[in-house]
Amino acid sequence: MSLRKITLALACATALGACGQRDRPAAAIPAPSLAGVEVTRDGLAKELFGAIGAGANLPAAPYGFYSKGCVAGAVQLPETGPTWQAMRLSRNRNWAHPQTVDMVMRLSQRAASLPGSNGIYVGDMSQPRGGPMLTGHASHQTGLDADIWLMPATLGLSRQDREEISAVSMRRANGAYTNDRWGQFQHEIVKAAAQDPRVARIFIFPGAKVRMCNEETGNRDYLRKIRPWYGHHYHFHVRLDCPADAPGCESQDPPPPGDGCAEAQEWVNNILNPPPPDPNWVAPPKKGPIMLSDLPQSCRAVLER
């Protein structure tokens, strides 16, 4: 396939309205494959990575940072397992580094052991070769991120159900508090994820972190990994550390010392009583789209394989 044909195919696959496909699910749009094609020119990274439907035939390795990288040798979380179901299958984002897939499977087993749950619903992980996504997340690029729905799973959903069912929010007061849907299941499943030694941090809305801080009566060490962040009230975001055998992967700085509970309470206080705007604040310059040349050099080889 010539580079010109690849470019045209990518434009059609990503600009859905121009191709008359806007109302069709992503799975109905054939995605061209770049496997075996030498990528000789620069291009929008999200279009290049978003067009590939399978992982690279390379040893498993994340490259770059969570928001500017890719993953070789990603494996696909099976759409359905005994204790999990992958959601929004048309997005083809149930791929990740093998360690991430293993973490999700083990977490689902813990979820299935809790009252009122048969397991977990798994949201976005990564694209088959990671990289920037056509829509949505800025991170999830190195195969080391996974979104886990906060609602307990009953399983047995059809493919169509998984496109249409909505996750349930667990917050009230714009994230300062949990609502009456938050309970022991949510506490225990977030705690279990944070206790996995491979996990670097977990992002969740501030009210959830504060409630976990207030209710935890045992070992509190895991609370350090749970970080308050905007949104994240339908799901929580699990991020793994770079594997020890991945020199091309860039880890995030460790969380600050301590359990982080005072910081989470400060987030809540600022939601309830917003501080006055900083008169000296200047909006940062808007970032442009990520180009292939912005990613680690190894990501070009990941595309070509």
Task: Decide if 28 is inside a domain.
Answer: no
The first and second tokens of residue 108, run together, are 């689902």
Residue with the two structure tokens 């006055």: 276
Number of structural domains the chain divides into: 1
Question: The domain containing residue 164 runs over which residues?
Answer: 59-276
The first and second tokens of residue 173, run together, are 């007061």
Predicted model pTM: 0.86
**Beta-bridge partners for 201:** 239
Round to whole Å and give the CA distance between 135 and 188.
31
Task: Decide if 40 is inside a domain.
Answer: no
Give every CB contact of residue 203 below 8 A, 6+ residues apart in sequence.
227, 228, 229, 232, 236, 237, 239
If you average pLDDT over every residue of the chain, what do you get? 88
Round to whole Å and give the CA distance between 113 and 219.
20
Task: Decide if 4 is inside a domain.
Answer: no
In order, the DSSP letters of 124-158 are --B-TT-S--SSS-SS--SS-EEEEESSPP-----
Task: Decide if 42 is inside a domain.
Answer: no
Predicted local confidence at residue 20, as pLDDT: 31
Task: Decide if 208 is inside a domain.
Answer: yes
CATH code of the domain containing 79: 3.30.1380.10
**Beta-bridge partners for 62:** 71
CA-based radius of gyration for the chain: 20
Task: Decide if 217 is inside a domain.
Answer: yes
Kindly report the number of other CB atoms within 10 A of residue 206's CB atom. Answer: 27
136 or 239, greater pLDDT: 239
Per-residue pLDDT at 30 exceeds 70: no
Beta strand 226-228 pairing with 199-204: parallel
% of residues, the chain, pLDDT over 90: 80
Task: Decide if 204 is inside a domain.
Answer: yes
Task: Decide if 304 is inside a domain.
Answer: no
Chain segment 188-227, per-residue pLDDT in tens: 999 999 999 999 999 999 999 999 999 999 999 999 999 9
Tally the C-alpha atoms within 13 A of residue 108's C-alpha that lie toward its C-beta.
28
- The 3-state secondary structure of 70-105 reads EEECCEECCCEECCEEECCHHHCCEEECHHHHHHHH
Tell me, what amino acid is at 127? Q
